[in-house]
């Protein structure tokens, strides 16, 4: 059973091996934007352990996953998930940028071994969101994040 749950987590993080998600989703490892804090914490407790909590609005979770070492989760004033960041595990199986979303439609920035791919996603009936993947390697990411996009907010 543990093997199946680990496989499920991997599929949630990266999609099927080598496959590109048709459209980026507003969730990482089952933690989704706008999720209530209690629901997010219940899911996070099944994935790992809480390492740090800053003024109850941001949490750092150590994750038991071969590809992801930590999840950072931030909450808005109503204690709903505002952003999620996945940190790639050093020395673990690597995650390609293209596993997160289609690179052909990403805004791309490359500067002195810093690579950033950004997608702005609109959703009907919900706030839009930004998906951003960053890293020092041109093929493999160090982290990726999703963040609610406020109507007045724009990409850096």
The pLDDT tens digits for 123-152 are 777 678 999 999 999 999 999 999 998 754
Phi-psi region of 122 (alpha: psi -120 to 50; beta: other; left: phi over 0): beta
Domain-located, residue 88: yes
pTM of the model: 0.81
Q: Per the domain annotation, does 83 fall within a domain?
A: yes
Residue 97: inside a domain: yes
Is residue 131, in this structure, part of any structural domain at all? Answer: yes
Please indicate, yes or no, if residue 47 is contained in any of the structural domains.
yes
Strands 114-121 and 143-149: unpaired
How large is the average pLDDT for residues 62-73? 97
Is residue 155 a part of any domain in this protein?
A: no
Per-residue confidence at 54, pLDDT binned at 50, 70, 90? confident
CA distances to 54, 68, 98, 108 from 139, rounded to whole Å, are 32, 17, 8, 13
Q: Is residue 154 domain-resident?
A: no
Is the confidence at residue 154, as pLDDT, over 60?
Answer: no
Range of the domain at 130: 2-15+26-149
Residue 110: both structure tokens together: 């490359």
Is the pLDDT at 7 greater than 50? The verdict is no
Residue 23: which pLDDT band, with cuts at 50, 70 and 90? low
Number of compact structural domains in the chain: 1
């Amino acid at each position: 059973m543990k093997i199946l749950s680990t496989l499920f987590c991997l599929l949630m993080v990266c999609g099927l091996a080598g496959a590109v998600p048709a459209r980026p989703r507003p969730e990482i490892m089952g933690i989704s934007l706008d999720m209530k804090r209690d629901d997010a914490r219940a899911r996070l407790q099944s994935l790992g352990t809480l390492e740090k909590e800053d003024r109850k609005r941001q949490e750092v979770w150590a994750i038991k996953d071969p590809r992801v070492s930590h999840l950072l989760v931030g909450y808005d004033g109503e204690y709903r998930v505002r952003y999620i960041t996945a940190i790639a595990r050093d020395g673990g199986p690597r995650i390609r940028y293209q596993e997160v979303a289609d690179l052909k439609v990403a805004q791309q920035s490359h500067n002195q071994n810093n690579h950033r791919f950004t997608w702005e996603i609109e959703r009907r009936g919900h706030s839009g969101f930004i998906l951003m993947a960053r890293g020092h390697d041109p093929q493999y990411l160090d982290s990726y994040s999703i963040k609610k996009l406020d109507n007045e907010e724009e990409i850096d």
